[in-house]
Structure 1
Amino acid sequence: MSKITATAPTKVILTGEHAVVYGKQAIGAALNLPTTVSLTIHSNSSNPGICLEMKEQFFYISWEEAAERRGEISTKGILSLLTLKVYPENPTDLFEYKIDISLPLGCGLGTSASLCVAVSGVLLKSKNPDATPEQINNLAFEGENCIHGKASGIDNTIVTYGGILSFKDGQITPVEFDDSKAKILLVSSGVPKNTGKMVKGVANQLAMYPGLTEGIFHSIDCLSKNLVTALEAQQYDHVKELLKINHGLLWSLGVSSELLNDIVNTGLKYGIKGKLTGAGGGGFCLFFVTDEDTAGFLQECASHGWNVIEASLTHYGIKFELS
């Protein structure tokens, strides 16, 4: 009996939300807010099946129940799906998972992708130590499709490989950057994201005002190209300005809100530039910070009840430890 542990980052979208669906460039980055999954396989167990310990949650399900639940949009469903994909016939073993998450599932920062990648990693590596990142990413994508219906594959790819990645028309390109120069402040609006509603709203705007909306998409595409150049040249003042402009473009697509605008404008009051991140409507705003004094901004966020998480960009994707 041995234990294998995988640690996978979460992620943030820097630019390109919504526009990427229409063939424009998007930039995503891995965050040092990880999900850790440990797997111990107990052979010939008296209680074969799957068990999970995660924070205060604990459950056990038999293999029969796992077969019924796989594909269900729940932690049980995802663990069942991925476990049975790798070990389709394992009636006498107990798969014991222990999961530690830095962020709540469903918060819009790639937590489901982080979970799927880490679980896929421990499963594939437990069966084949030579399992590749590509194999892990492909299995995690199946889990993401189960959760989201039709996933883009962006989140799980960022989480698997780490770093900053550029996406356009199915092409993925790494972006060079220095992860020691900046930190990311994530400010929660406290409002759940509503991806489906936002995606539908953008599609409706495109149908009603095609030329105008295509123009916004083109501007986002151009902005993403400029962001890559600025990141690689360590021109961080340009990075911050581009993120501020991106927020305005997302507002023009109708995916911001009064509250998200308030958060971004509060940052501007203190010379801290940022944008909403993700689908919009709720979720988080991100702020790219280098040498700014953030004390006043953090104090005002606290006065409004906006939770702030400090993070860093990371080059690391999934990592493993055997014990």
Structure 2
Amino acid sequence: MHTRECLVSAPGKAILHGEHAVVHGKVALAVSLNLRTYLRLQSTSDAKVCINLPNIDTFLSWEITTLQPLLTGCEAQGDLKQELDADFLKRLRAFTGISDDSTDTRSMAVLAFLYMYLSVFAEAESLASITVSVWSELPTGAGLGSSAAYNVCLAAALLSARGIISSPLTTQQESARWSKEEMELINRWAFMGEKIIHGNPSGVDNAVGTWGCFLRYHEGNITPLNGVPVLRILLTNTKVPRSTKVLVSGVKDKINKFPSVMKPVLESVDAVSRTCEQILTEMSTHGPSAEHYDILEELIDINQHHLSVMGVGHSSLDTLCRITLARGLHSKLTGAGGGGCGITLLRPETDASVIQSTAEELQACGFDCWETSIGAPGVQQHSSDSLKQDILKILNSY
């Protein structure tokens, strides 16, 4: 073990523009949410490995002696492969009793942890005795990148503990980030965790969790947009369940049925994403202005109408847009739609009383609502002093 304790965090994610169209080769803009997942890794001397996930009521521990045999035939981590070790994953499923068709949050989180922990320490003289506690501000299953934030935190903490990446935090700093090369390694490991949980992820969620801020995604290529100012938002979870797979399939069916109608819609969504990218770049170069916010609000309205045309709107999202627009605020769904979450842009001059009354009315509809921001930094290491006392208390209680 190269560190006795490690405190890290990673942000959630939202899609600003381009959801659904991105599946058909168009540009999407992904953004980090300033709602974070926090992880504490502590070295112990009890010859056990413990994982505590209070958000999903999961508290497990294993004797190191029972985990060691699982490494037989496990390939060393030195050159991280792009594909999962299927045989190793099969052994982990058998060991934990998690069936091949199980996809519940708890089982997938445990599998991802064990896969990463054992792979990272495969070449060590012995498996490390550690306790890992994770707590998140992000709701699970809401399309806000909660699993990716979890995997990014796991990757950063385990790689740091093993000494594969540095501990960037100095005694004078409250938080610090790793080098570009180390961040790329964290991202690759987190992507492996995402594959365990989701099967065939795009890589966008873990990239946002690693790099943070604003990212452009187009046909598999992810490009950071540098220097864009943080934007305040209201994030609303309608709590209406939906199936991303069904919604994506529905959009595809509509495109096949009405190609001459729907293909121009996709082109228009692409233009919205590209125009927004241009405005964000201008804001990073010249600073934000009222005119910039005017355009961002118009683009939000336009894209929300596009998404309704695609068939991924919902009455709950209509309610969100109606309530916010009555106060001069502009909203759109984020993610798959059909319910789920929406974002509302807040201008710098938006009065606190307006935000409060809006949130209260949305909560009265049965929605969850947070005032937060987009463009937050990616994965970070923290000192104990830099974490809020309530968060540190939670992490230290396990």
What is the TM-score of this pair, normalised by structure 2? 0.75
Of 79, 82, 87 in structure 1, the residue corresponding to residue 116 of structure 2 is 82
Report if aligned partners of 2:217, 2:223 keep a CA contact under 8 Å in 1. Answer: yes
Alignment of 1:93-242 (within 5 A): 93-127=128-162, 128-130=164-166, 132-179=182-229, 182-233=231-282, 234=288, 235-242=292-299
Q: CA deviation at 1:124?
A: 1.2
Report if aligned partners of 2:216, 2:224 keep a CA contact under 8 Å in 1. Answer: yes
- Larger CA Rg, structure 1 vs 2: 2
User: Which stretch of structure 1 is more off in the superposition, 285-294 or 270-279?
Assistant: 285-294
SS in 2 for 1:192: coil
Give me the CA root mean square deviation: 2.3
Q: Give 1:42's aligned amino acid.
A: T
Percent identity reads 31
Counterpart of 2:41 in structure 1 is 39
Q: Give 1:86's aligned amino acid.
A: V
Distance 1:300 1:81, change over 3 A: same
Distance 1:208 1:307, change over 3 A: same
Q: Give 1:211's aligned amino acid.
A: S
Distance 1:98 1:21, change over 3 A: same
Q: Does 1:21 align with 2:23?
A: yes
Q: Give 1:60's aligned amino acid.
A: S
State how far apart, in whole Å, the 1-side matches of 2:323 and 2:237 are: 13
State how far apart, in whole Å, the 2-side matches of 1:313 and 1:266 are: 21
State how far apart, in whole Å, the 2-side matches of 1:52 and 1:122 are: 14
Q: CA deviation at 1:141?
A: 0.8
Q: CA deviation at 1:205?
A: 1.3
Report if aligned partners of 1:194, 1:280 keep a CA contact under 8 Å in 2. Answer: no
Counterpart of 1:301 in structure 2 is 362
* Structure 2 unpaired stretches of 5+: 71-91, 167-180, 283-287, 385-398
Distance 1:232 1:93, change over 3 A: closer
User: Which stretch of structure 1 is more off in the superposition, 211-220 or 270-279?
Assistant: 211-220
State how far apart, in whole Å, the 2-side matches of 1:306 and 1:77 are: 31
Q: How many pairs were matched up?
A: 320
* Structure 1 unpaired stretches of 5+: none
State how far apart, in whole Å, the 1-side matches of 2:263 and 2:157 are: 42
Q: CA deviation at 1:42?
A: 3.1
SS in 1 for 2:51: strand
Distance 1:39 1:296, change over 3 A: closer
What is the TM-score of this pair, normalised by structure 1? 0.91
Counterpart of 1:49 in structure 2 is 49
Counterpart of 1:2 in structure 2 is 4
Report if aligned partners of 1:6, 1:36 keep a CA contact under 8 Å in 2. Answer: yes
State how far apart, in whole Å, the 1-side matches of 2:20 and 2:328 are: 27
4+ aligned runs moved over 6 Å, structure 1 = none
